[in-house]
Structure 1
């Protein structure tokens, strides 16, 4: 009935809207696609498509089977990828993309043990805005990405939550004196003054971190910190990046009507359709072990 080939043909007709369009996508004759669908319908004793003049539309039975067919196609793709991986010798390589806010997190702690277990280990760590880090992961340029929680999960994402990062609202002493003086600071002040955001080329930002309509973008948190130190605006920065309280030009802002902190969950993400190799799996295990009993990232 639903063999891997039958699933492929069925979904091609659904996705391309007709037997002829599916045939072009599959590199076959339309008659071969029509015959394959007809044979599937005969074996199932169900009509899957309404044949119309210019298009092919799913019947209620076809609609009912469609979600399971897509799930089966996804499982078959992963099965094929896993089988291919079994033919390849494990490569002592780890490639990792980090959101800039997480440079100071605990991602580097497992690397000493990993290098000892795999002496010829090749390591590639890239620090990029989150959207770009996830794009590299999706395209297969890296094996893992350490990023903040996403607003919605893509079907291809496998992930494990590994902690949280605390971001705090900060400004320079000079900025605070000019904007607030001795008056209590309220959230409305943030909305009326310039905010420094760490941006990506796609212009994507976590909405929890946006408070002002007047925004400048910096390519990294270090650049954002320099702009804040110069008194050019305020920003949410990782607390781990800040100097000890009372030292330096930066100060944590304190508000009358809201907290000055935002906690974001941190995930390690991988592509579910690209099985992780031995090295990446070992890194994940070491990361889990290192986080037991430790404070959040």
Structure 2
């Protein structure tokens, strides 16, 4: 059973921070006698002296210095706990889970998350990266509050955000890179790197899958790395390959047709009435940024 209270430790910290009982009283808007009583009572309960007088100054003892370092953390955690409780009282979610298709531009997502975190710093944010149907599957299962997905839902709550441009790319030293005109026959005879749908219940294929050789991977970053190593070609989101093209490790294919394609991204959520303040904040920022 704790002998001291958080309020006593707050008074102790105020005296330590402001250099005396009178100064602490002015800062925390309590009487000097009440602060004296709180600190003295705590010293009696703990059996240690926390302060000593040095001339006209009130300074920490060695024990006081050691305890101050620990109490700063304790008071900070107590404040977090109280803020979380206040958020729950006001209906603010403690966690926001977002399922995001890997094709969605990362910089847009990061900026939206930063703004949400500034507004709700104590909320835990979980980002689940998915491919194709995976985002909406997590939404249906209640494992995500919001999804950014290539597909519309049937609940009329899907909102078109933007179109993602995909470009056909290969490594700089790949055989397709030197061709002035790439045909579909050339693609059929080359290895294609394909992203696997992360959905389990209902998988989907999008785009051209005509190559006789295919490697299927689960993450966009793996696809990019394989192509940079000249191990295949793929259509990948322009935002994911732009920097690599500019640095020269990837090149766009000189296809006769179909060198680029686009895919829509939808903002999806299941129940507008159950969306909390944090999710609404994220939705608002994503709408504005796209």
TM range (shorter): 0.5 to 0.7
Structure 2: tracts of 5 or more residues without a match: 1-88
Distance (Å, rounded) in 1 between the aligned partners of 2:181 and 2:103:
29
TM-score by length of 2: 0.61
Give the distance between the partners of 1:250 and 1:259, measured in 2 at CA. Answer: 18
Residue 145 of structure 1 corresponds to 147
Between Structure 1 and Structure 2, how many residues are aligned? 199
| TM-score, length of structure 1 as denominator length | 0.60
**What SS does structure 1 have at the residue aligned with 2:103?**
helix
Asked whether 1:188 is paired with 2:204, we answer no
Distance 1:92 1:194, change over 3 A: same
| Residue 190 of structure 1, CA deviation | 1.4
CA contact (8 A) 1:156 1:273 kept: no
Change (3 A) 1:188 1:272: farther
Deviation digits for residues 122-153 of structure 1 (CA, Å, limit 9, x no counterpart): 211111223222211110011011122x2xx4
1:146-185 alignment runs, 5 A limit: 146-148=148-150, 150=151, 153-156=152-155, 158-176=157-175, 179=176, 181-182=178-179, 184-185=181-182
SS in 1 for 2:269: strand
Q: 1:160 to 1:225 in 2, by over 3 A?
A: same
Provide the rounded CA distance (Å) in 2 between the counterparts of 1:118 and 1:180.
48
Deviations 1:66-115 (A, max 9, x none): xxxxxxxxxxxxxxxxxxxxx98332432101112225251222233322
Alpha-carbon deviation of 1:253?
0.4
Runs of 4+ deviating beyond 4 Å: 179-183
Residue in structure 1 matched with residue 239 of structure 2 by the alignment: 240
What is the match of residue 101 of structure 1? 103
Q: Is the 8 A contact 1:95 1:143 kept in 2?
A: yes
Q: Which residue of 2 aligns with 1:113?
A: 115
Deviations 1:49-73 (A, max 9, x none): xxxxxxxxxxxxxxxxxxxxxxxxx
8 Å Cα contact 2:99-2:135 kept in structure 1:
yes
Q: Distance in 1 between matches of 2:98 and 2:246?
A: 35
Query: Highest CA radius of gyration, 1 or 2?
Result: 2
Q: Distance in 1 between matches of 2:134 and 2:141?
A: 10
Q: How large is the Cα RMSD of the aligned pairs?
A: 2.6
* Partner in structure 2 of residue 200 of structure 1: 197
Give me the whole-angstrom Cα distance separating, in 1, the residues matched to 2:173 and 2:157.
Answer: 45
| Separation in structure 1 between the aligned mates of residue 269 and residue 280 of structure 2, nearest angstrom | 11
